[in-house]
Amino acid sequence: MGLSAWKLAGNNRWALRNNPSSGNLHPTESYLITSGINNIVAGVYHYHSYLHCLEQRCTFESPPAAESFLIGLSSIHWREAWKYGERAFRYCQHDIGHAIATFSYAAATLGWQVEVLDRCSDEHIDSLLGLNRQVDFNGAEHEKADVLIQIHTRPEQQAVNIDDLISCAQQGYWQGQANCLSPEPHINWPLIDDISNTCVKPQTESLHWQPPQLPELSACTSTAHATTIIQQRRSAQAFDGISTLPLHDFYRMLDCVLPRHNTPPFDSLNYAPRIHLAIFVHRVESLEPGLYVLARSANGEKVLRKNFNAQFDWKKTAGAADHLTLYQLANGNSQNAARAISCHQDIAADSAFSLGMLAEFDSNIDDKPWQYRQLFWEAGMIGQTLYLEAEAADVRATGIGCYFDDSMHEIMGIENTVLQSMYHFTVGTPITDARLGTEPPYTHLKNS
Ligand SMILES: Cc1cc2nc3c(=O)[nH]c(=O)nc-3n(C[C@H](O)[C@H](O)[C@H](O)COP(=O)(O)O)c2cc1C
């Protein structure tokens, strides 16, 4: 969640982070909750990305002896809403998904594993992170609880006892005040409040879904260290509209978004995939340009087949591994369609491929409205995988949060809300803006 670089243009400079964020507005806050770990006083800490330090929020007076190592994530909707209005809600959720995957990849570089604690209620998270302490948020924009994740530093690590940690937090010693981002009056976006209230998560049973056994991922062609790839990740501003992506890289990127045991980031989720990819192939070696679909689960494929345009071909893509359920639906140049759907952004047409992420929607949200948020998280996680795999394949990606879902649905022949487009993405050979300068991420600390 730290800075990855400073960008310079004339007198302007702005920081980028390892995790992407819509409009680079970074509404996600992250917290560390620990107990029973050497050299760290048990308690709750807020991460400060500019200073790259932890701010101690709560000291547990009598912490549980058992080891706990948790990360909590929250969103400040206003950080996106001042610019994007109602769309801010979904962008905040996408960013949470990117952040979960960011933690998952970072943990994997240390041999650790991340587990999303899907049983926790938002009320639990509020209590643990101190987000319900109005006295500490006096005049500051409200932070909404999103997710707790456990970091497993060794296999078979015990599940943490959240209730114990919450009572430690309730009896603990708290310090610090949230700072106010914009003191001027805020524009009110009632829909954001409505949707956040509708999607509040209650406590639920733990889920225990296991991914199917899949063949190992094909080798990554990059020899760069994971850390290098993570820190060099950037969003492409423009693509060259010419270069062709090698077929091996395309298949590997898609394979990486399938859940596998012990493979970040989807081994952090205890539920089956709910998101599938509708792909506009523009320039991929040996593949006919056209519309393709990757079903991320067998059940998902059934839902897609039932709800897509009945005229689609469903031709299994030649050369793809058997388990990669990638089908060609229609051939032809889909650049104009992709551009138009993505709010007329050229990045969706000039890339090697762009895609829409389709969620199994009604079945997931009808009686569990909080899963609406989880659908965006899963989409954000897929996005983070594509960002990193693109860097590893020496190309670049960009998240596309601005898209027209109705137009996407029309192309796919979707006539109801069984499926819903949640996020778009694009991958290709970037054109880099030579006018921009770059500085290392923490030069401002060295100079001060
Ligand atoms: C949820 C999300 C939506 C985004 N939507 C768009 C978009 O519609 N168009 C675009 O050019 N970039 C988009 N981006 C890219 C961001 O602008 C970019 O992440 C941000 O400027 C930070 O730059 P970086 O990714 O290079 O760190 C999106 C990123 C995210 C995470």
Task: Considering only residues 66 and 52, tell me which one the structure prediction assigns the higher pLDDT.
Answer: 52
Q: Does residue 360 sit within a domain?
A: yes
- Report, as an integer, the average pLDDT of 406-413: 98
The residues with which 358 forms a beta bridge, in sequence order, are: 276, 421
* 64 shares a domain with 169: yes
* 280 shares a domain with 187: no
Buried b / exposed e along 22-57 (16+ C-beta atoms within 10 A): beebbbbbbbbbbbeeeeeebbbbbbebeeeebebb
* 276 shares a domain with 129: no
pLDDT at 186: 87
Q: Residue written as tokens 């009110």?
A: 188
Centroid of ligand 1 to alpha carbon of 22 (angstroms): 4
* 387 shares a domain with 308: yes
* CATH number for the domain that contains residue 174: 3.40.109.10
* 380 shares a domain with 294: yes
* 321 shares a domain with 172: no
Q: Ligand 1 within 6 A of 345 CB? A: yes
Q: Does residue 218 sit within a domain?
A: no
240 class by beta-carbon count within 10 Å (0-12 exposed, 13-18 middle, 19+ buried): middle
pLDDT at 64: 87
Q: Does residue 152 sit within a domain?
A: yes
* 238 shares a domain with 176: no
Question: Is the separation of the CB atoms in 419 and 405 below 8 Å?
Answer: no
Q: What gap in Å lies between CA 270 and CA 268, rounded to an integer?
A: 7
Give the end of a domain, one of 175, 198, 221: 198
Centroid of ligand 1 to alpha carbon of 21 (angstroms): 6
**Share above pLDDT 70 across residues of the chain, in percent, rounded to a whole number:** 100
183: confidence class by pLDDT, cuts 50, 70, 90:
confident
Question: Is the separation of the CB atoms in 253 and 390 below 8 Å?
Answer: yes
Q: Does residue 226 sit within a domain?
A: no
448: confidence class by pLDDT, cuts 50, 70, 90:
low
* 97 shares a domain with 13: yes
- Report, as an integer, the average pLDDT of 376-400: 98
Q: Does residue 12 sit within a domain?
A: yes
Mean pLDDT, the chain, rounded, equals 96
Task: State how far the alpha carbon of 27 is from the alpha carbons of 51, 147, 185, 262, 378, in Å.
Answer: 17, 14, 19, 29, 18
272: confidence class by pLDDT, cuts 50, 70, 90:
very high
pLDDT at 294: 98
pLDDT at 146: 98
Q: Ligand 1 within 6 A of 16 CB? A: yes
Q: Does residue 225 sit within a domain?
A: no
Number of domains in the chain: 2
pLDDT at 396: 98
* 350 shares a domain with 274: yes
Q: Which of 218-227, 245-254, 381-390 has the lowest mean pLDDT?
A: 218-227
pLDDT at 119: 95
* 383 shares a domain with 298: yes
Q: Is the pLDDT of residue 244 over 80?
A: yes
Q: Ligand 1 within 6 A of 234 CB? A: yes
* 352 shares a domain with 289: yes
Q: Is the pLDDT of residue 49 over 70?
A: yes
Query: Tell me: the pLDDT tens digits for 188-214?
Result: 999 999 999 999 999 999 999 999 999
Contacts of 135 (CB under 8 A, 6+ apart): none
Q: Is the pLDDT of residue 124 over 80?
A: yes
Q: Ligand 1 within 6 A of 21 CB? A: yes
Q: Ligand 1 within 6 A of 90 CB? A: no
In a mutational test of the pocket of ligand 1, which residue from 400, 423, 425, 436 has the highest number of ligand atoms less than 8 Å from its CB?
400
- Report, as an integer, the average pLDDT of 106-117: 96
Which range marks the domain in which residue 26 is found? Answer: 3-198
Query: Tell me: the pLDDT tens digits for 234-243?
Result: 999 999 999 9
Q: Does residue 131 sit within a domain?
A: yes
For the question of whether the overall pTM of this predicted structure is more than 0.95, the answer is: yes
pLDDT at 9: 95
* 250 shares a domain with 152: no
- Report, as an integer, the average pLDDT of 129-158: 93
Q: Does residue 18 sit within a domain?
A: yes
Centroid of ligand 1 to alpha carbon of 23 (angstroms): 6
